[in-house]
Structure 1
């Protein structure tokens, strides 16, 4: 079995081994994964954090051994907290990183990726934050443009948004909305919800296709065109700009 770690800022994870294939997610700096298959140009990988699978270019990651993979899987998680920042390697080369990048084995502004040592002087998210922090951290992504498969403040999709907000608060969500909907405890009414709970929405076929984070006073923050704030009622999401309902409510889940 082969293993790898992302040593670039943002690497596209594709549905098929082709540069023209759909981007289904992204792997951020510091994230590690199992290599399931490897050809001359492409690797099929499974991301450790959420077990999501897809293809990445062989030139866009660094191979690691099983011992390091296991250490990464069990060590404490530290994440960069700035919307955009940089890290410096031993040769004083700069690499930009987006918010939510992992800083493996971080201590005293130093961390490592395999044999490579880095410095990072920005603020760090670590440990499990209080539930009240979820909405506060969600505001860091406000007005981020919608991007299918995106996970950063420069482009994000609905489930990437909820996953990243929970991630920097120290909690794990699966990658897609329909899978996130399998987590947590079902709430019967909006009135039972608290800020930080998740609301899920389905399409005409009954498939869950959208998710957002519940706020106070029946508001919801979600990625739809951009990360925006709308009203939530028993029917679904009421767009405050178009004055129409845009998403049909399916279920509310208490994750933490």
Structure 2
């Protein structure tokens, strides 16, 4: 990672973020326009093509800066983690209301009104930010009302000012979630996405990709002989992979082996992974 990592700084030869003027070469510099993600999940791609791979995702309510819109695509930067990429311009909306709450369960539904028997109007992932304008109760179930008149189960939200106590417990709540390269939502998530979203819900914003996390989260340390110095919450890194220790011996990670967020013993994982990618490359304590 460098100061001009294109994943974290919006610059191309023809266009760049005005904040980078004097630091990078570009034909034109523009100030980003403020916008907000209005879709359940927005895929960020390296190039503006529907067949381009997903680098990461933004969630409903995430604030972004828009530097260019052309041919159905928008070149944006997510304000939460600085990630730059292209999204379909249909996922963008204005910043009209101030978000008040965040989804605090892995997944939840949006209903057209306060009744769980209504056909759903959408779905939201943990980490999605919404504005609650009222409340309602139907047959004993409490709902939070949104500006659109739609409703979300109230107990699936928490005020933005509140944070979780233990990011590992949050990560464990995703057990069984499908693995998705580039995913960072309750509908599909990858290894570093699991770390990022879990830490975000515990009040700590961290960078997105494994190499970024391996260089920036907490402090590096040596776990000692036979990994005996590991404890709950420690991060174990391989080339292109990261796992979260749940105790001294076991870990949780989103992985391509099970294609799920799953629990696995560290020693078993080290043995299984080593023939493809080698052993762990580092350990960090947040």
Would the TM-score normalized by the shorter structure come out above 0.5?
yes
Partner residue, 2:213: 180
Does the 8 Å contact 2:228/2:248 carry over to 1?
Answer: no
> Which residue of 219, 227, 232 corresponds with 2:261?
227
CA drift at 1:110: 4.6
The separation in 1 between residues aligned to 2:206 and 2:133, in whole angstroms, is 23
CA-atom RMSD, angstroms? 3.0
Partner residue, 1:129: 164
- Could you tell me which runs of 5 or more consecutive residues in structure 2 were left unpaired when the two chains were aligned: 1-31, 136-143
> Which residue of 82, 88, 113 corresponds with 2:105?
82
Per-residue deviation, residues 70-121 of structure 1 (Å, max 9, x unmatched): x67xxx7x4212333233579x983321222122578863556xxx575433
Runs of 4+ in 1 over 2 A off after TM superposition: 81-84, 86-90, 92-95, 103-112, 116-130, 190-194, 235-239, 242-247
> Which residue of 19, 37, 40 corresponds with 2:50?
19
Partner residue, 1:164: 197
Does the 8 Å contact 2:230/2:247 carry over to 1?
Answer: no
Does the 8 Å contact 1:44/1:53 carry over to 2?
Answer: yes
With normalisation by structure 2, the TM-score equals: 0.70
Q: Per the alignment, in what secondary structure is the counterpart of residue 249 of structure 1?
A: coil
Partner residue, 2:125: 98
Per-residue deviation, residues 121-153 of structure 1 (Å, max 9, x unmatched): 3322453332xx222222221122221111123
Does the 8 Å contact 1:230/1:237 carry over to 2?
Answer: no
The separation in 1 between residues aligned to 2:134 and 2:279, in whole angstroms, is 46
Structure with bigger gyration radius:
2
The alpha-carbon distance between structure 1 residues 215 and 45, as it changes in their structure 2 partners (threshold 3 A), is same
> Which residue of 209, 234, 251 corresponds with 1:197?
234
The separation in 1 between residues aligned to 2:189 and 2:201, in whole angstroms, is 15
The separation in 1 between residues aligned to 2:134 and 2:228, in whole angstroms, is 43
The separation in 1 between residues aligned to 2:263 and 2:41, in whole angstroms, is 26
Q: Between Structure 1 and Structure 2, which shows a larger proportion of strand residues?
A: 1
Alignment coverage as a number of residue pairs: 233
The separation in 1 between residues aligned to 2:221 and 2:211, in whole angstroms, is 17
The alpha-carbon distance between structure 1 residues 251 and 106, as it changes in their structure 2 partners (threshold 3 A), is farther
The separation in 1 between residues aligned to 2:212 and 2:65, in whole angstroms, is 20
Does the 8 Å contact 1:236/1:248 carry over to 2?
Answer: no
The separation in 2 between residues aligned to 1:35 and 1:3, in whole angstroms, is 6
**Higher RCO (Cα < 8 Å, 6 or more apart):** 1
The separation in 1 between residues aligned to 2:56 and 2:122, in whole angstroms, is 21
> Which residue of 43, 47, 64 corresponds with 1:33?
64
Q: Per the alignment, in what secondary structure is the counterpart of residue 59 of structure 1?
A: helix
Does the 8 Å contact 2:78/2:84 carry over to 1?
Answer: yes
Does the 8 Å contact 1:135/1:213 carry over to 2?
Answer: yes
